[in-house]
Amino acid sequence: MIKSAILIALVRGLRSIGHQSIKGVWRFGAGMRLFWLTLISSGESFRRFHLTIREIYFTGVMSLIIILVSAFFVGMVLGLQGYHTLQRYGSSEAIGVLVALALVRELGPVVTALLFAGRAGTAITAEIGLMKATEQLSAMEMMAVSPISRVIAPRFWAGVIAMPILAILFSMVGILGGYLLAVPVIGVDAGAFWSQMQANVDWRHDILNGVIKSFVFGVACTMIALFEGYDAPPTAEGVSRATTRTVVTSSLAVLGLDFILTSFMLNV
């Protein structure tokens, strides 16, 4: 009796694991398919670039405030923590390098992408999901206009273009935050702060790699947000669940991709 109960529970557990994995693989495939369709339907996004500009405005400008404010605080915290550790070794002038490298290589792209997923990604998912639920996408199809090239692709490219710009702004404002903390507040020499930074931040290995990261995050976050919206069941509940999934999936994707990209970039 007990044995069979355990067996049933076990089978049920296995079954649900299998079910979830199949669903995951299926969704990944469907997402990739949408990604491919978006790429081959992108002509119009560039031919009529004002469509894309409009979306850059919505996604980029919408996220600007939260990203700049966060960057400022992250920069100051880096300054504080860096100073606290570096002064023990008597090298507090290196604080500029530390802040800049941490931001340009890691925190800039990663934190920007996480904030982007929460701010712009959710908005994209909700917008597309509602367009689907209210038959706007169907109506477009019936007007012989492809929703993928008219709605999905411009938003995709807008996200891909906006993300690196936002990440660069994040790093710049973060460095400013670190500077304001280290130089006027703590009293680190301003010349040392900047010159050490200039000497030790490499154009290709640090800055370019950071931009590449944020470009990849831009592709992932925007595509996930678009897919979740496009795939959402056309009901209020479906759209709200999709919005949550956008944040969860994007965050995991960003952190996972960051690990993969970093290990390639550091050549280990």
Partner 1 sequence: MNPNIVEIDNLSFGYKGRMLHQGINMVFPRGKVVAIMGGSGSGKTTLLRLIGGQIKPSKGEVRVDGQVVHKQSREGVYKLRRKMGMLFQHGALFTDLSVFENVAFPMREHTDLPESMIRDLVLMKLNAVGLRGAYKMMPTELSGGMARRVAVARAIALDPSIIMYDEPFAGLDPISMGVVCDLIRTLNDALGATSIIVTHDVEETFRFADYIYFVADGVVAAEGTPEDLRNSDLPFVHQFVFGEKDGPVAFHYAADDYGRTMLGTDT
Residues binding partner 1 (CB under 8 A): 127, 130-131, 134-136, 138-139, 141-145, 150
Instruction: Tell me whether residue 38 or residue 70 sits nearer to partner 1 (CB atom).
Output: 38
Residues 111-134 as b or e (16 or more Cβ within 10 Å = b): bbbbbbbbbbbbbbbbbbbebbbe
143 vs 151: CA distance, rounded Å? 14
Which of 91/136 has CB closer to partner 1? 136
In the complex, the smallest distance separating the C-beta of residue 39 from partner 1, rounded to whole angstroms, is 17
Element (H, E) at 36: helix 2-40
- Rounded Cα distance, 8 and 46, in Å: 56
Q: Judged by CB, which is closer to partner 1: 92, or 222?
A: 222
What is the closest distance, in whole angstroms, from the C-beta atom of residue 138 to partner 1 in the complex? 7
| Cα 171-109-91 angle, rounded to 5 deg | 50
Q: Shortest approach of partner 1 to residue 137 CB, angstroms?
A: 9
Residue 50 or residue 204: which is nearer to partner 1 going by CB? 50
Between 119 and 150, CB nearer to partner 1? 150
CA-wise closest residue to 175 among 196, 191, 197: 197
Question: Coil, helix or strand for 244?
Answer: helix
In the chain, how long is the greatest CA-to-CA distance?
Answer: 78
The Cα–Cα gap between 30 and 40 comes to 16
CA–CA separation, 201 and 98 (whole Å): 10
Name the minimum Å distance from CB 229 to partner 1: 14
Nearer to partner 1, 85 or 134 (CB): 134
Residue 91 is classified by DSSP as -
